[in-house]
Amino acid sequence: MSDLDDLLTRIPVSDIAKQLGVDDATARSAVEQAVPALLTGLQQQTGEEQSAQGLAAALAQHPADLAEGDINLADVDTTDGGKIVNKIFGSETDNVAQALSGANAAAGVDQGLVKKVLPILAPIVLSYLTSKVLGGGKSGGAKPSGGDLGSILGSVLGGNAGGGLGSILGSVLGGAAGGGGSKGGGGLGDLLGGILGGRK
């Protein structure tokens, strides 16, 4: 099992479905779109030293145990999750959500659902990455370097690349992820499109 699949299997899809008022299949589709998008947005930030340092600090503040064992949604701080999403996508969050929903419209994943699920998933994703970086240790450990984070994110994303929405998301995100996100031309969009295109 790949790290990405491992992360996806840990996420309580049924609980998310109940919380958001959708069926399990729709919630699963939204999760499978949003998790790679969050990971790729984080990976993009490791390319700039300042952003990578900020990400390393964020990981150090998020305990690894949230993503270990059974995840209880009551333990997920969605306010914190919203801040994480804003850090990753900034002013382009709405456009990213629209692009992600368009990639899976047949599954009933609309823009509003994507925007609701992103803040739920963001703390879980950071917790999972913390467990990878610190070997399952609690918060407060040594901060990893940007290179370490980039390697780990690349490992988690694995081979989920190729084709898909690169041109669309590249156009949406353009040269900025806003709100402190890194500026890398269409790089984030291309990576998002490649990953999402590989997960039908």
In angstroms, rounded to a whole number, what is the distance separating the alpha carbons of residues 148 and 57? 13
**Domain range list for the chain:** 3-197
pLDDT at 106: 65
161: which residues sit within 8 A by CB, 6+ positions away?
A: 191, 194, 195, 197, 198
Q: What pTM value is reported for the model?
A: 0.72
List CB contacts of 105: < 8 A, sequence separation 6 or more.
none
Quick one: pLDDT at residue 196? 42
| Greatest distance between any 2 Cα atoms in the chain | 44
Q: Write down the pLDDT at residue 108.
A: 74
- Write down the pLDDT at residue 69: 77
Single out the residue of 122, 101, 133, 94 nearest to residue 3, CA to CA: 133
Residue pair 127/67 in contact (Cβ under 8 Å)? The answer is yes
pLDDT (mean) for 125-144: 64
pLDDT of 126 above 70: yes
Interval 43-59 mean pLDDT: 64
If one compares 149 and 176, the residue with the highest pLDDT of the two is: 149
Over residues 69-83, mean pLDDT: 90
Look at 79-83, 135-139, 156-160 and tell me which has the smallest mean pLDDT.
135-139
Question: Tokens representing 128?
Answer: 């999972």
Split at pLDDT 50, 70, 90, the class of 138 is very low
Flag whether pLDDT at 171 surpasses 70: no
10 Å Cβ neighbour count for 32?
Answer: 19
pLDDT number for residue 200: 39
Q: What tokens appear for 79 in the block?
A: 């306010």
Residue 70 is predicted with a pLDDT of: 82
What pLDDT is attached to residue 67? Answer: 77
Average pLDDT over residues 183-199: 42
71: pLDDT strictly greater than 80 = yes
pLDDT band (50, 70, 90) for residue 81: very high
| pLDDT class of 146 with cuts at 50, 70, 90 | very low
Return the DSSP state at 199. Answer: -
**Mean pLDDT in the chain?**
72
Is 181:51 a contact under the CB 8 Å cutoff?
A: yes
The model's confidence at residue 17, banded by pLDDT at 50, 70 and 90, is: very high
- The owner of tokens 């994480």 is 84
- How many Å separate Cα 197 from the centre of its chain? 16
Residue 125 confidence (pLDDT) above 50: yes
